[in-house]
Amino acid sequence: MLKIDNLHASVENKAILKGLDLAVGAGEVHAIMGPNGSGKSTLGHVLAGRPGYTVTAGSAQLLGQDLLTLDTEERAHLGLFLAYQYPVEIPGVSNMEFLKASVDAVREHRNEPALDSVSFMKQAREACKAVNLDQAFLKRGVNEGFSGGEKKRNELMQMMLLAPKLCIMDETDSGLDIDALQVVADGINAMRSPDRSFILVTHYQRLLNFIKPDRVHVLSGGRIVKSGDHSLALELEERGYAWLEDVA
């Protein structure tokens, strides 16, 4: 699904990723943990193609295609989805309108017929229900006046409707209470499938109690310094990151 080799990237001329390697197979869930400032969020943005994030060396392929030469929207068309840590507001543009436009754009590039309004509405309502958001949210401006938890659930709803191949969740669990966390985890679990992969960027092992990862990686100093199975996350919770600095 995703193959990253020796990825170096910088933001405002500051090197953040320094030779990152990662391979995520189809249907797998990988968790990326690591101390603050280690480059976890940067990885998501570099893959998504955020302006200002410059790749200085290395490669990244999604489904066999070179991601790094594609525009941001082309990566989305290919099936990359980034759930933001801090989703922005777009006042006046209704969630519904935004979602319809997104779904239309993505379907168009996949050569799928456009959804008619009725089927789209039906799907949107179901997605709302799945993430436990009131349907009134569909009519509100994108993230406009949403609480932190509502924004995160809204991200999840978008993900459900766009049906991406690779979902990168950037600290989707932060700021969620335990019930909301359960909702988000259920949503992600329901979306797991043999042809869809997940990268969960998180600080907390807690999320991994709800979503069992296939692999856990520790990102430190812009590189993956240790990989393991779920037990690594538990170990990190107990021992912190300091012991890994020596490994690195």
Q: Closest separation between CB of residue 154 and another protein, Å?
A: 11
Collapse the DSSP code of 103 into the 3-class scheme (helix H, G, I; strand E, B; otherwise coil) and give the result: helix
Task: Give the DSSP letter string of 203-241.
Answer: S-THHHHHS--SEEEEEETTEEEEEESHHHHHHHHHH-S
Which is closer to another protein, CB of 131 or CB of 216?
A: 131
Candidates 68, 90, 121, 163: give the one binding another protein (CB under 8 A): 90
Kindly state whether residue 137 participates in binding another protein, applying the rule CB under 8 A: no
Residues 13-42 that bind another protein (CB under 8 A): none
The answer to whether the CB of 102 falls within 8 A of the CB of 110 is no
Kindly state whether residue 106 participates in binding another protein, applying the rule CB under 8 A: yes
Distance of CA 24 to the CA centre of its chain: 13
Distance of CA 150 to the CA centre of its chain: 16
- Scanning the structure block, which residue is given the tokens 């990662």? 22
Kindly state whether residue 162 participates in binding another protein, applying the rule CB under 8 A: yes
Candidates 38, 132, 158, 220: give the one binding another protein (CB under 8 A): 158
Kindly state whether residue 72 participates in binding another protein, applying the rule CB under 8 A: yes
Candidates 1, 32, 48, 62: give the one binding another protein (CB under 8 A): 48
The answer to whether the CB of 32 falls within 8 A of the CB of 217 is yes
Kindly state whether residue 109 participates in binding another protein, applying the rule CB under 8 A: yes
Residue type at 131 in one-letter notation: V
Select from 87-95, 112-120, 173-181, 209-217 the region that touches another protein (CB under 8 A).
Answer: 87-95
